[in-house]
Amino acid sequence: MIDFAFQNPTKIYFGRDSLQNLSGEVRRYGNRVLLVYGGGSIKRIGLYDKVMEILRAENAHVWEISGVLPNPRLGLVKEGVKLCKENDVQLVLAVGGGSAIDTAKAIANGACYDGDPWDLFERKGENTSVLPLGTIVTLSAAGSEMSDSSVITRESDMCKRGRNTPFNYPKFSILNPEYTFTLPPFQTACGIVDIMAHMMERYFTRVENVELIDRMTEAALVTVINNAPVVMEKPDDYNARAEIMWAGALAHNNLLSTGRTGDWASHKLEHELSALYDIAHGAGLAIVFPAWMKYVLDKDGEKKLAQFARRVMHVEDDFGSDRETALEGIARLEGFYHSLGLTTTLHENSIGQEDITRMAERAIKLGGGSLGSFVKLGVSDAEAIYRLAL
Ligand code: NZQ
Ligand code: ZN
């Protein structure tokens, strides 16, 4: 285990009655509120009205940034920053999934920075403060409700970049599993894949003697796998939605990173896919992650992949070698993704090989010359992984 510092400051309100805590938080941070949400699902599920009712009761002044797209864009961030600066906004409140939350994070940071908010993503500038940010989650997936990360796409060149900073931790997040009952099966499935990917990125490490976090991660993965068919079959199963919602937050709040170095190559390779083809992040991960596993297997990856196969995918220990056991584990993972109605190849998503070199080069460039730490990847490795995913 390597040395670490761990602090996650986000306060979580979890459960059926969790929304009632919004009033106290508005009183704490201020009632000049910027509400950030997506294309209208929060209105269809009646959550917008409930939130507005609470804000009205607090005599709040409310400004709105709506229409956040999946794979959220910089343009709307800039609009939000302008609104915050012009109106002395005191609290940025995201209601929705990862895209609404990431937009709100970029706005809350950008409002405390004098230049172009994209500078912060390019590490050309730093803010020294941030507006308080709260979230009300309607989709278990990105884990942004408890993460230090925000991922935004610049429209001019469709460049998708993440920024990690302690300023991105929300002050509070409200998680009511009931708000996820209305998710379409595809979004539920993409969310499950993303949650598992956040666990797996941290699990595949070269750091030894990390048994506690390994076993916690395996338990979390198995919990998600067990509850996935329940929510796919019965979208309003509260207990199964609750298990997945809490797993989604814990997957990405950095607890499972403690004492180890994560990999994150699959995420960076996926971000190129969702930037260029505008596919859902989770759908992209279902394609990239198994291909990454197959590639790293023969780069001294068989021991950890076999452990994953045995403890998470329940592969019996009679496959003769770690390599065979690992391969069976990868096949079962792909089978699990298929059981969620997702595909695991680029071709099935009408994506050919034409952009592979471009995606590989940009991913490696954005990674500062390489990606990953379980196996360090260069451009030719990234290309090979995309080709394995064809
Ligand atoms: O826009 P609306 O109308 O709200 O509809 C959304 C959207 O179309 C819909 N939806 C959300 N809650 C719903 C619902 N539909 C019905 N009922 C509900 N209760 O779902 C669609 C997808 O929403 P989105 O927010 O885009 O999904 P997700 O939460 O998966 O977020 C994806 C974004 O997060 C980034 C991804 O790259 C992607 O841009 N990530 C952010 C991370 C972070 N900040 O820590 C980490 C992740 O690895 C990830 O990269
Ligand atoms: Zn992710």
Whole-number pLDDT of residue 317: 80
Where in 138-278 does DSSP place strands (E)? 149-154, 159-164, 172-175
Residue 348 has a pLDDT of 97
162 token code pair: 């993440």
Which DSSP symbol is given to 147? -
Question: What is the number of the ligand closest to the CA of 98?
Answer: 1
Structure tokens at 370: 């390489």
58 C-alpha to center of ligand 2: Å? 35
Low-confidence stretches of the chain (pLDDT < 70) are none
- Which residue of 151, 168, 231 sits with most ligand 1 atoms within 8 Å of its CB, as the best mutation to test the pocket? 151
Q: Give the pLDDT of residue 318.
A: 76
> What pLDDT was estimated at residue 208?
96
- pTM over the 0.75 mark: yes
> Best mutation site among 159, 173, 187 for ligand 1, i.e. most ligand atoms within 8 A of its Cβ?
187
**Residue 153 CB less than 6 A away from ligand 1:** no
Contacts of 328 (CB under 8 A, 6+ apart): 309, 313, 315, 319
For residue 282, how far is its CA from the centre of ligand 1 (angstroms)?
9
Helical pair 302-311 and 185-203, crossing angle rounded to 10 deg: 130
Task: State the pLDDT at residue 27.
Answer: 98
Give residue-wise pLDDT tens across range 141-197. Answer: 999 999 999 999 999 999 999 999 999 999 999 999 999 999 999 999 999 999 999
| Cβ-based neighbours of 46, under 8 Å, separated by 6 or more | none
**Residue 105 pLDDT:** 98
Atom of ligand 1 nearest to the CA of 37: 4
Strand order in 32-37's β-sheet? 11-14, 172-175, 133-137, 91-96, 32-37, 61-65
Would you state the pLDDT for residue 64? Answer: 98
Q: Are 363 and 269 a contacting pair, CB within 8 Å?
A: yes
b or e along 105-128 (b: 16 or more beta carbons within 10 Å of the residue's beta carbon)? Answer: bbbbbbbbbeebbbebbeeeeebe
Establish whether residue 165 lines the binding site of ligand 1, counting it when its CB lies within 6 angstroms of any ligand atom: no
User: Given this model, what pLDDT does residue 319 score?
Assistant: 78
The residue nearest atom 41 of ligand 1, judged by CA position, is 142
Q: Which tokens in the block code for residue 157?
A: 């060149």
* Per-residue pLDDT tens over the stretch 315-336: 998 778 999 999 999 999 999 9
Determine the distance separating the centroid of ligand 1 and the alpha carbon of 204, expressed in angstroms: 25
